Chain A
Amino acid sequence: MLDRRFLRSLTKVVGRPNVLAEPADIVLYSYDSSSATGRPDVVVFPASTEEVSRVVALCAQHRVPFIARGAGTNLSGGSIAVRGGVIVELSRLNKVLELDLANQRAVVQPAVVNLELQNLLAPHGFQFCPDPASQKASTIGGNVAENAGGPHCLKYGVTTNHVIGLTVVMPSGEVRRFGSGVLDTPGYDLVGLFVGSEGTLGIATEMVLKLRPLPEAAQVVLALFDTLEAAGEAVSQIIAAGIVATALEIMDRNTIRAVEVSFPTGLPMDVEAMLLIEIDGLAEAIDRQAARCAEICRTLHARSVEVGKTQEERTKLWLARRSAFGAHARISPAMLVNDATVPRTRLPEVLRGIQEAERKHRVEIGKVFHAGDGNLHSNILYDRNDPEAFHRAEEASREIFELAARVGGTITGEHGVGVEKTKHMHLLYSPQDLHAMWQVKRVFDPLNLANPGKVLPEEAEASQ
């Protein structure tokens, strides 16, 4: 239970309408888009950097954990409270503070929604490159905290490649500026260190983003295959052919079915895999590349190959892919989202491994892959009311993580470690590697109040 004085002080900072502490309200903030849950003690809605700073300073003074929260689209439990405390809900910090197109930068507050920003930029011929599948809902603050990716990061890089400055409320409440409005700020790359730290090093309340001109043209090639391996092979051959696609996405049969049942797009239900390829750039540059991709797919006996050149055609071909996650969630509200990422040359063997795990543990896995960068989303569906099913799903997930680590991959490509994957961190990192991360954490947050219980496993460190 929280100290009354603490609650009064919080209320004084943000105002009574901006504090939620009733049990019914608290329950609503016990979830995010992962399967993890946890109850906070109170939710506050600060309206400025200064208010965030004062809230966090109070938390430090009273030794209360605090958890920053944006749209709650997190897939690893990063935005839930595992040790109670204060949810710092940032939705009131939702302004685009500056659009400086001539200097290819924008300054935004954390609750600006990714797609809203894109819609603001597109008419001017610019984009913010990260485009996570959740972009309709997810916020830039969340993107920064998670170092979000998206289908197009294959060519343009992930969030950290597009952030140059941050205003950060440190876990003490102190406000700092990391980076600046230009590319090279003297000193350590504190922006690079902070991006992807999942709210465990502080709360970013303003971000300076690097923008990029939109490509002139794009084409989408959509190929259907009778085996998952053939789709994987097509990806390998496209990369080996020296084609830098903007996106290389695979969906397996389970996913196609889920999509067609929920949001019919006209895909045949009996194909094993769909491969979507997007190429962008100068119109002259992409014609031959798209044709080459189509040719590779045909040589690998694709059942059909379709090329979309206009915006409408492209949107139509993307529709099934964009609906995949929602479709899985609709047919099975409970799923474990595995986000292992592997070197692209190991895709065929890892695909086989995932199919084996599926059989062995009797689970259904919807496979939606950012195949171009080796990022495999295995959505492991289970029945929430059957503890044994959950256990099997967890076992399958663990096996996929182990396989990914064994072939030189990682346990998460874009969803974050959160609370769900801390137990798997040792698959990638030695105790010394993790100790170095803990050292960094202690410098920023000596009291371990910033989103505790996330990212770093505590047991390993305790034995150091």
Chain B
Amino acid sequence: MSSPTAALEHLERVVGPAHLITATGGAATLAEGVSEYRVDGQMPLAVAHPGTQEEVAALLRVAREHGLSVLPRGAGRHMHFGSVPGPIGLLLSLARLNQVVEYDANDLTITVQAGMTLGELARITGANRQVLPLDPPGGEAATIGGVAAANLAGPLRMRYGAPRDLALGLRVALSSGEVIRTGARTVKNVAGYDLTKLFVGSYGSLGAILEVTLRLIPAPEERALFVASLAPARAREVAAALVGGRLDIATCDLLNHESAKGMRLFLPVTLRPENVVLCVGVMGASEAVARQERELKALLPEGVARAEVQDLGKRVRDVAYPRSREGEEAKRRDELSVLRLSVPLTAVVDLLATISAEPGWKAAAWAGDGTVYAVGPAEVRVLMRLRGAAEKAGGYAVLEYGAPELKRSFPVWGESVANLDLMRALRRSLDPSETMGCGRLV
């Protein structure tokens, strides 16, 4: 490795002093006040905000030449994902690459740069009454590049899939500085290997995603959210009937009492500690929504209410991404952990009960795809118990949020990850210098 100063000078020549932040100078310093760039408590040697794809490629070449490891960053919403990173040489911010590359509204596809936020994307497509049907926890401030890198989805996944399903193609900068294209701009393409799938969900360990082509859907005419409070056995029965039936619902979420009581003001039902709250989202033609409402009422004689609060769905998702004052407090004290469990559909309600048995643990589940979030105090013992329950059901548990010490004692991805040798070989083949990702996944 050459001297850090030489590397920093070299990086600065690429983006200009206004867009490089280092411990020693530049636009701002990494000393006090720029703590948002910490990843698991660690300050990178430099943070660069390139303004063009050519600058990204040049930065990567410089990083490789000087032996700096690189971690891509979008809006910084999900930098807490993954194992505690090794030394971070360059935090590569893609926030300035936030433009529409091509939007062919009549084709229902859009190509945007990685740094565009989901909120901005929704605004742009909304002007044409179109939406990207993706609602990950962490919300509108997250960037499309970040959400793709983590393959992060929300409750709509049961109907529309995850980023792996919605991304048609990518432009990716490899650590060599070469920029490659994967996939196509058409909704169907089988020419060559589907490298899009390889990069989506690779947490920046194979390259930096620069552009994403996405499929859109026409904005639904009407949306509604229906809420009921049910005994767990009933919740299991009703959720199974809804996600396996023909009512064509869009989302099916379950909350345990600990989560529900935090949003009691927004829930149009009376809460009971022993109950589970069911939130069913529907979207589509107004006649269909009216019919779905009728059928839900018939299915739930114990009572179901249409939610008046527009953003209840967001509050439900935010169980998985705590931003409340209390949540932020717990994060500061390193006392918070968020576990994402993926299990077969029939295991969801039992898992919810297992989580609820732990004092103070919140749980939210997307019952249509088997995702369960458990949010509670950072206790390895409990986390191990919950992971054990998921694995026993044939699933997995990934620690999405936790202080570095917690991540060191509770392996983020699991005690062992299948095919790690193959993944490492793939990683070496695309990133021979092992520059990318800083060891958060592979």
Binding site for B on A (CB under 8 A): 100-105, 125, 146-147, 149, 153-154, 157-158, 160-161, 176-178, 180-193, 195-197, 201, 213-216, 236, 239-240, 242-244, 281-285, 287-289, 341-345, 370, 373-375, 408-417, 421, 425, 428-430, 432-434, 436-437, 439-443, 455-456
| Alpha-carbon distance A440/B292, docked complex (angstroms) | 47
Taking a contact as CB atoms under 8 Å apart, the answer to whether B195 and A413 are in contact is no
**Which listed residue, A161, A185, A343, touches B104 by the CB 8 Å rule?**
A343
Chain A residues contacting B185 (CB-CB under 8 Å) are 343, 408-409
B311 at interface, CB cutoff 8 A: no
Taking a contact as CB atoms under 8 Å apart, the answer to whether A281 and B284 are in contact is yes
Min CB–CB distance A188 → chain B (angstroms): 5
**Which listed residue, B174, B193, B345, B395, touches A455 by the CB 8 Å rule?**
B193
Taking a contact as CB atoms under 8 Å apart, the answer to whether A102 and B191 are in contact is no
Chain B residues contacting A125 (CB-CB under 8 Å) are 244-246
| Alpha-carbon distance A440/B429, docked complex (angstroms) | 7
Taking a contact as CB atoms under 8 Å apart, the answer to whether A417 and B190 are in contact is yes
Taking a contact as CB atoms under 8 Å apart, the answer to whether B396 and A342 are in contact is no
**Which listed residue, A196, A281, A370, A412, touches B194 by the CB 8 Å rule?**
A196
Min CB–CB distance A397 → chain B (angstroms): 15
Chain A residues contacting B125 (CB-CB under 8 Å) are none
**Which listed residue, A154, A240, A455, touches B192 by the CB 8 Å rule?**
A455
Q: A102-B240, A189-B201 are in contact. Are A242 and B219 (CB under 8 A)?
A: yes
Minimum CB distance partner of A184 in chain B: B342
Taking a contact as CB atoms under 8 Å apart, the answer to whether A158 and B188 are in contact is yes
Chain B residues contacting A102 (CB-CB under 8 Å) are 240, 244, 345-346
B248 at interface, CB cutoff 8 A: yes
B262 at interface, CB cutoff 8 A: no
Chain B residues contacting A414 (CB-CB under 8 Å) are 188, 190
If A188-B441, A189-B164 are given as contacts, then 9 extra A-B residue pairs at C-beta distance below 8 Å, sorted by A number, are A104-B244, A104-B345, A149-B190, A161-B161, A282-B248, A370-B188, A373-B187, A421-B191, A432-B180
Chain B residues contacting A373 (CB-CB under 8 Å) are 186-188
Closest 9 CB pairs of A and B: A192-B197, A242-B218, A285-B288, A184-B342, A413-B188, A439-B429, A284-B287, A216-B246, A410-B189
| Alpha-carbon distance A441/B198, docked complex (angstroms) | 13
A-B contact pairs, 8 of them (CB 8 A): A125-B246, A190-B419, A190-B422, A193-B195, A281-B284, A289-B285, A411-B191, A430-B181
Taking a contact as CB atoms under 8 Å apart, the answer to whether B129 and A184 are in contact is no
Min CB–CB distance A248 → chain B (angstroms): 12
| Alpha-carbon distance A58/B200, docked complex (angstroms) | 35
Chain B residues contacting A440 (CB-CB under 8 Å) are 193, 195, 198, 426, 429-430
Q: How many residues of B contact A (CB 8 A)?
A: 81
| B residues 181-227 touching A (CB-CB < 8 Å) | 181-182, 184-198, 200-202, 217-219
Taking a contact as CB atoms under 8 Å apart, the answer to whether B108 and A239 are in contact is yes
Taking a contact as CB atoms under 8 Å apart, the answer to whether B108 and A408 are in contact is no
* Listed residue (A186, A342, A425, A441) with the most chain B CB atoms within 10 angstroms of its CB: A186
Chain B residues contacting A243 (CB-CB under 8 Å) are 218
Taking a contact as CB atoms under 8 Å apart, the answer to whether A244 and B346 are in contact is no
Min CB–CB distance A125 → chain B (angstroms): 7
Minimum CB distance partner of B213 in chain A: A408
Taking a contact as CB atoms under 8 Å apart, the answer to whether B186 and A436 are in contact is no
Chain B residues contacting A216 (CB-CB under 8 Å) are 246, 248
Taking a contact as CB atoms under 8 Å apart, the answer to whether B394 and A282 are in contact is no
Chain A residues contacting B413 (CB-CB under 8 Å) are 186-187
Min CB–CB distance A458 → chain B (angstroms): 14
Q: A147-B194, A189-B197, A239-B108 are in contact. Are A284 and B288 (CB under 8 A)?
A: yes
Chain B residues contacting A416 (CB-CB under 8 Å) are 190
Q: A214-B246, A282-B247, A410-B191 are in contact. Are A184 and B202 (CB under 8 A)?
A: no
B389 at interface, CB cutoff 8 A: no
| Alpha-carbon distance A160/B419, docked complex (angstroms) | 20
Q: A188-B201, A215-B248 are in contact. Are A196 and B396 (CB under 8 A)?
A: no
Q: A284-B291, A437-B192 are in contact. Are A188 and B398 (CB under 8 A)?
A: no
Chain B residues contacting A215 (CB-CB under 8 Å) are 246, 248
* A-B contact number at CB 8 A: 258
Taking a contact as CB atoms under 8 Å apart, the answer to whether B192 and A103 are in contact is no
B69 at interface, CB cutoff 8 A: no
Chain A residues contacting B405 (CB-CB under 8 Å) are none
Chain A residues contacting B151 (CB-CB under 8 Å) are 184, 189
Taking a contact as CB atoms under 8 Å apart, the answer to whether A178 and B419 are in contact is yes
Taking a contact as CB atoms under 8 Å apart, the answer to whether A343 and B419 are in contact is no
Taking a contact as CB atoms under 8 Å apart, the answer to whether A181 and B194 are in contact is no
Taking a contact as CB atoms under 8 Å apart, the answer to whether A188 and B106 are in contact is no
Minimum CB distance partner of A217 in chain B: B246
Chain B residues contacting A415 (CB-CB under 8 Å) are 190
Chain A residues contacting B441 (CB-CB under 8 Å) are 187-188
Taking a contact as CB atoms under 8 Å apart, the answer to whether A242 and B129 are in contact is yes
Minimum CB distance partner of B179 in chain A: A432
| Alpha-carbon distance A192/B182, docked complex (angstroms) | 13
Chain A residues contacting B198 (CB-CB under 8 Å) are 188-189, 192-193, 440
Q: A244-B217, A284-B287, A455-B192 are in contact. Are A410 and B182 (CB under 8 A)?
A: no
B328 at interface, CB cutoff 8 A: no
| Alpha-carbon distance A216/B248, docked complex (angstroms) | 9
**Which listed residue, B106, B187, B190, B244, touches A213 by the CB 8 Å rule?**
B244
**Which listed residue, B189, B247, B344, B371, touches A103 by the CB 8 Å rule?**
B344
**Which listed residue, A147, A240, A283, A409, touches B190 by the CB 8 Å rule?**
A147
Minimum CB distance partner of A192 in chain B: B197
**Which listed residue, B165, B182, B245, B414, touches A186 by the CB 8 Å rule?**
B414
| Alpha-carbon distance A289/B220, docked complex (angstroms) | 13
0/1 string, B104-129, CB within 8 A of A gives 1: 11111100000000000000000001
Min CB–CB distance B235 → chain A (angstroms): 15
0/1 string, B406-442, CB within 8 A of A gives 1: 0000000110011110110110011000000000011
Min CB–CB distance A353 → chain B (angstroms): 16
| Alpha-carbon distance A244/B190, docked complex (angstroms) | 22
B16 at interface, CB cutoff 8 A: no
Taking a contact as CB atoms under 8 Å apart, the answer to whether B369 and A183 are in contact is yes
**Which listed residue, B247, B394, B429, touches A181 by the CB 8 Å rule?**
B394
* Listed residue (A146, A192, A243) with the most chain B CB atoms within 10 angstroms of its CB: A192
Chain A residues contacting B109 (CB-CB under 8 Å) are 343
Chain B residues contacting A370 (CB-CB under 8 Å) are 188
Chain A residues contacting B108 (CB-CB under 8 Å) are 239, 344
Taking a contact as CB atoms under 8 Å apart, the answer to whether B245 and A213 are in contact is yes
| Alpha-carbon distance A184/B165, docked complex (angstroms) | 13
B71 at interface, CB cutoff 8 A: no
Minimum CB distance partner of A289 in chain B: B285
Chain B residues contacting A342 (CB-CB under 8 Å) are 186
Taking a contact as CB atoms under 8 Å apart, the answer to whether A192 and B164 are in contact is yes
B340 at interface, CB cutoff 8 A: yes
